[in-house]
Amino acid sequence: MSGFEVALMTGLSAASSMAQASQQRKAQSQAQALQAQQVQQQTDELQRQHAKAEEDRQDRLKRAAASQRAAFAGAGITSDGSGEAVFDNLLTQSQREKQDLDDQLDRSLRSLNSSMQFNLLRQPRTDSFSTAASVVQSGIGLGRQLGIF
């Protein structure tokens, strides 16, 4: 084989390696985009669930306060003094429930984000230096087979 043929084969090998690396990067980008889309959908769903739970919490608080007011009115008790303490207790319990809901949402979102970051880190990455090194190694191996090196 002539030097020209070796150079041509090395060039073709390099082009093939570069095309393969490009396809790999494209597949990785698509996988990352899909994963990001899935995480966004899960995040949106968690936020919808949180909003619904918050709405339910507020409705329960309103119903409990209205029920308590009705009970006080039926018994002839005013809402000041111990009645006010009962309403404060209802509000405190509701605020604790809200904090629990918020904490649960935060944990879920952090878990989603960390799982996405972990998956992105686990994906193999190819860089230009690795591709070039692979091409050079292919060319050297081919040159040795042909007795050029």
pLDDT value, residue 14: 65
pLDDT value, residue 5: 59
Percent of the chain exceeding pLDDT 70 equals 65
For the stretch 55-112, pLDDT in tens is: 999 999 999 988 888 888 777 776 566 778 888 889 999 999 999 999 999 999 898 8
> In total, how many domains does the chain have?
1
Amino acid letter, 28: Q
Mean pLDDT, the chain, rounded, equals 76
pLDDT value, residue 62: 92
pLDDT value, residue 54: 94
Q: Is the pLDDT of residue 52 over 90?
A: yes
82 φ/ψ angles, rounded to the nearest 5 degrees: -70, -30
pLDDT category at 142 given cuts 50, 70, 90 is very low
For the stretch 110-127, pLDDT in tens is: 988 887 776 655 555 555
Q: How far is 92 from 106, CA to CA, in rounded Å? A: 21
- In terms of pLDDT, which residue wins out, 143 or 94? 94
pLDDT value, residue 99: 95
Q: Which helix (H) or strand (E) is 98 found in, with range?
A: helix 82-122
- State the residue range of the domain holding 53: 3-145
Q: How far is 114 from 12, CA to CA, in rounded Å? A: 41
**What is the rounded average pLDDT of the residues 24-52?**
88
**Phi-psi category of residue 81: left, alpha or beta, with phi > 0 → left and psi -120 to 50 → alpha:** left
pLDDT value, residue 55: 95
Angle at 25 between CA 24 and CA 30, to 5 degrees: 100
